Amino acid sequence: MRTVAYQQQQIKDKRSSDNYNRYRNTNRATYNQSKVLSKFEKQQQVLQLKLSVYRSTYSRKLALFNRNNLLAGAGGGRLVGAFRLLLLLLFLLSNCIVGAFEPDFVIPLENVTIAQGRDATFTCVVNNLGGHRVSGDGSSAPAKVAWIKADAKAILAIHEHVITNNDRLSVTHNDFNTWTLNIRSVKMEDSGKYMCQVNTDPMKMQTATLEVVIPPDIINEETSGDMMVPEGGSAKLVCRARGHPRPRITWRREDGREIIARNGSHHKSKAISVEGEMLTLSKVTRSEMGAYMCIASNGVPPTVSKRMKLQVHCK
pLDDT given for residue 142 in this prediction = 74
- Give dist(CA 106, CA 125) in Å, integer: 6
Mean pLDDT split into 10-residue runs, the chain, 315 residues: 54 55 50 44 52 52 51 49 54 48 87 96 88 51 87 92 93 90 96 93 92 97 95 94 96 94 75 95 92 96 96 85
pLDDT given for residue 22 in this prediction = 55
| In a shared domain, residues 108 and 80 | no
pLDDT given for residue 45 in this prediction = 55
Confirm whether pTM is higher than 0.75.
no
Q: Which residues pair with 214 in a beta bridge?
A: 244
Domain, as residue range, for 275 = 220-313
Closest CA to 286 of 308, 254, 312, 261: 312
pLDDT given for residue 60 in this prediction = 58
pLDDT given for residue 176 in this prediction = 83
Domains held by the chain: number: 3
pLDDT given for residue 264 in this prediction = 62
| In a shared domain, residues 239 and 309 | yes
Q: Which of 100, 132, 150 is the C-terminal boundary of a domain?
A: 100
pLDDT tens for 61-82 read: 445 545 555 445 544 455 445 5
Closest CA to 145 of 210, 201, 200: 200
pLDDT given for residue 15 in this prediction = 57
pLDDT given for residue 32 in this prediction = 47
SS (H, E, C) the chain: CHHHHHHHHHHHHHHHHHHHHHHHHHHHHHHHHHHHHHHHHHHHHHHHHHHHHHHHHHHHHHHHHHHHHHHHHHHHHHHHHHHHHHHHHHHHHHHHHHHHCCCEECCCCCCEEEECCCCEEEEEEEECCCCCEEEECCEEEECCEEEEECCCCEEEEECCEECCCCCCEEEEECCCCEEEEEECCCCHHHCEEEEEEECCCCCEEEEEEEEEEEEEEECHHHCCCCEEEECCCCEEEECCEEEECCCEEEEEECCCCCEEEEECCCEEEEECEEECCEEEECCCCHHHCEEEEEEEECCCCCCEEEEEEEEEECC
Q: Which of 69, 100, 131 is the C-terminal boundary of a domain?
A: 100
| In a shared domain, residues 96 and 110 | no
pLDDT given for residue 166 in this prediction = 92
pLDDT given for residue 129 in this prediction = 78
Q: Which of 45, 68, 100 is the C-terminal boundary of a domain?
A: 100
pLDDT given for residue 107 in this prediction = 92
| In a shared domain, residues 207 and 305 | no
| In a shared domain, residues 200 and 142 | yes
pLDDT given for residue 187 in this prediction = 96
Residue 160's CATH number: 2.60.40.10
| In a shared domain, residues 227 and 174 | no
